Amino acid sequence: MIDLEVPRKFGPLLKQAAGLADQVFRPISRKYDLAEHDYPHELDLMSAVIDGLSDSGASQGAGARTTSGGGSEPAGVGAGSRAATPKSGNVNGSNLSSVLSIMQTCRGDVGLTLALPRQGLGNAAIAAVASPEQKARFGTKWAAMAITEPNTGSDSGAIRTTAVKDGEDYVLNGEKIFVTSGERAELVVVWATLDRSLGKRAIKSFVVRRDNPGLKLVRLEHKLGIRASDTAAFTLDNCRVPAHDLLGDPEIRIEGGFGGAMQTFDNTRPLVAAMAVGLSRACLDRTTELLADAGIAPDPAAPARTQPYAAARLLQLEADYEAAYLLTLRAAWMADNGTPNSMQASMAKAKAGRTCVEIALACVELCGATGYAETELLEKWARDAKILDIFEGTQQIQLLVVARRLLGLSSSELK
């Protein structure tokens, strides 16, 4: 049974993550918001901390991707892999520790969290579906994920990048956009189709080395928020990839072929929800401090109608935050305990993403001119918030996933 208390064993990990947010990320947050595309060299000093998170079981790669025609495809701190089989008792494992640590680091800065080395969505894919031999070869490298294409956003099954077998290699051709950490990563996990006519079941993922001459960087995107995280566009021009770098089963299966690839997102959607929860917490905490300076202190025990509007509104936002927080913990806990969590992961992502945007904008409003000025990080957080409602599946896609699960309908029955 899930326990809503934070497991005691995660205490040192969360203390580390909170220290990273407060002592490292916050002081340089504005610097790298203004210096978009500059690499945050301060993060080089954090490699020991990242390794510490990994040793704690918190970091096996994470991230997010856009599933709409626009947006970006960030990758973030530590995603645990789904438990292979249900275990007896209660398991508080790497998925739960990951979301809790991400909530802490994103109180400091979402973009810097996404820019941490060796923590890409590609790492999550490798952890989820790679063979033991592949995990040994790729496990210590930084892997980005390339899924989204100019004409393929929400429907990942419509990918047009092709992979053709040629001797001991596959030859990849196509275009990928919104690849988070695409410039900085050592590897890029590219989704491609073995046969366009077969739709989703022919989609496979390939590990492509960043220095492969067939993988060509086209541009880095300029973005509304999370500017510390680089977002790249690539072309694949007769990109030759060794056959042993295909992740998972090379055969095209009639049933379940695409499901293995999509399982990655049952693990990573709670992580994006955790990013949103962490950013929401930052907004609420700072707004509470600024309102207190103005003599306004919310009273949870008093009726809302007896309090100033700002105080009552803050209490309402706190309630929305709590709902997003609990949904996120549930989705991660289910993954740790080997329980299918597709619907719950989408619920958490939908609620947390929408709530984060609402909280960030409301906090700017409650703080007036102070909230809108660059003297505070509130205006930056409001810009950062929107992507958390877009990538890893837009709000609309998450609600569609939830509806399909509730109604027992397939993707072809409910579009």
Which residues form the catalytic set? 392
Residue with tokens 């609402």: 358
- A 10 A CB-CB count for 294 gives 13
Could you tell me if 207 and 143 are in contact, meaning their C-beta atoms sit under 8 angstroms apart? yes
Following DSSP, what letter does each residue of 93-117 receive, concatenated?
-HHHHHHHHHHHHHHH-HHHHHTST
Residue whose C-alpha is closest to residue 101's, from 54, 141, 64, 42: 54
CA 278, 181, 36: angle at the middle one, nearest 5? 75
Token reading at 31: 């610097």
Could you tell me if 42 and 55 are in contact, meaning their C-beta atoms sit under 8 angstroms apart? no
Three-state DSSP class for 146? strand
Residue whose C-alpha is closest to residue 317's, from 269, 282, 271: 282
Distance separating alpha carbons of residues 165 and 143, to the nearest angstrom:
23
Distance separating alpha carbons of residues 356 and 104, to the nearest angstrom:
15
Distance separating alpha carbons of residues 403 and 406, to the nearest angstrom:
5
Q: Where are the beta strands (DSSP E) in 243-302?
A: 246-247
Distance separating alpha carbons of residues 272 and 334, to the nearest angstrom:
16
Distance separating alpha carbons of residues 336 and 9, to the nearest angstrom:
15
Centroid of chain to Cα 193:
24
Three-state DSSP class for 232? strand
**Which residues partner with 206 through β-bridges?**
190, 246
Token reading at 181: 């950490």
Contacting residues for 299 by C-beta, under 8 A, at least 6 apart = 307, 311
Three-state DSSP class for 319? helix
Contacting residues for 210 by C-beta, under 8 A, at least 6 apart = 185, 186, 187, 188
Distance separating alpha carbons of residues 120 and 257, to the nearest angstrom:
23
Residue whose C-alpha is closest to residue 384's, from 276, 287, 285: 276
